[in-house]
Structure 1
Amino acid sequence: MREPYDRVFISFGPFTIYWYAIFIVFGIIIGYFVANRRAKRAALPEDTIVDLLLYGLPVSIISARLYYVLFELPLYIDDPLSILKIWEGGLAIHGGLIGAVLTGVIYCKKKNLSFWNVADVVAPSIVIGQIIGRWGNFMNQEAYGEIVDIEFLQSLKLPSFIIDQMYIDGAYHHPTFLYESLWNIGVLIILLLVSRNRMFFGQIFLIYLSLYSVGRFWIEGLRTDSLMLTANLRMAQVLSIVLLIGSILTYIYLKKSKEEDLHGSIT
């Protein structure tokens, strides 16, 4: 049994860079290049993705942190400055997504762009960020699941470095970070395939919301560090249900609207 991985990537003088930050930044960089390439194919204005990144990234980080802190407020009341220590973990994806969507809606309105078209362009990049970012949770030994025995983990054919890192507080745990990362790889593949024959603006983004919500609902049920709405309700599961229903209804509405427009143009 080896020691857990050090959370610190590198230290020099008073400065410390954490693995958590490295994975997040790496995910952002890869996501940017993918989104920029898709934006060119969609004939969006040249600076669209750069602008969205400059405006949306800080808003998303702040909203992701505030969302997390809101549900873990007792941990921060005695030490408010610790709210700023995002490198230690504690960024809620749903909070970040809310911030990103609001930024996108406002930006698209000001630039006279279709929000749904832009959302389709960036949806795969959001998934890429989630795929890579979950490995920051791995390094921090967080976002893990309930206790399991080592035989279960070995039956999944997991490499030893993952099994060893899931040994936390004297027990092995579900690597829920890995489940979500792998689920999102599947989501990404589906989004890229559907992108080849998109039927209407918003289709890709709404498929992302639907598929992610299904996976997150299942995986959240395995976790031990869920943000709780009440004693028995996990906030991420509640939001997953809301997003799933909302995205399906919106998908039906946009698809029907597109079909009616096509029918009207033909007649």
Structure 2
Amino acid sequence: MKSPIQPLAKLCLLALLPCSLINTSYAEQTLSSDPVSVESTEYRYGAIYSPTEASTQAAIDATAKTATTSAINDTKNNNVTKADTLGVASLAEKKAKRESLFSSTSKSYAEAQSTVLLSDYWIYDSWVSLDTDIDYDGYYSEFTVEFDADTAYDSALVYGVIYLGRNDRYEAIHVTSEFVLYGEDSSDAFVVESRLLSGFPAADYDVLIELYDAYSEQLVAFSDGYDDADLAYLSLESDNHEYIYEDTVIVVEEHGGSTTIFSLLFIAFTLVVRRVIRH
């Protein structure tokens, strides 16, 4: 007599096959490589930040008067070409050039740490809030970074670069507009609200914030997850990965749910019992 176990085993394997295929497909999507795309909005003093040429020029004049002994001036001769080129450009042109310069730029933790910084500038504190999780899986596609940078001078014109990274490798995602630091004022924090569109599979990411002098283009300060725990282990994913996960759940519920598996197992068991009774 043929053993009834073989048909039962075959039916069990067939019942589990759809779930196996779905899980494999999801893993491939999660590990896929997409181009990095991010949308960001800047805020300061509780409103969307939009600097003007007049306010920026006033800040430049103030910085020139109050920072005459700054170490930044010692580097002026080494940065004449770059600084002068950006100096005659409009705010929009300078921001576009900087975005092009940092586009697709990545650096390791060791590279970030190797830069000699100036003691006249520092990032006093930073905060991160996780804002939007479309599929409720614990990974967010929108988040906000706020940082309070200070200087030893009455005022200084700077800009920032925001990076996201994991495994000690950081990818530049946003170059800020120029903004003014006012000494150690605690109310002049800068806020960047970002939406990850693509290029970031679900994972824990670290944030790296770099601060540059807007005249010399020199990196003057930075902060990361090693300096500030608020910048470490952020559960993030881009929009396209959130939607993929949502579609996968729909497929599982319609075609590979637990009810279907138990139904097939019950049918297989009934067939085996009938065959045993007949013999």
Taking structure 2 as the reference length, the TM-score comes to: 0.23
Higher CA-based Rg: 2
Select the structure with the greater relative contact order (CA < 8 A; seq sep ≥ 6). 2
Taking structure 1 as the reference length, the TM-score comes to: 0.24
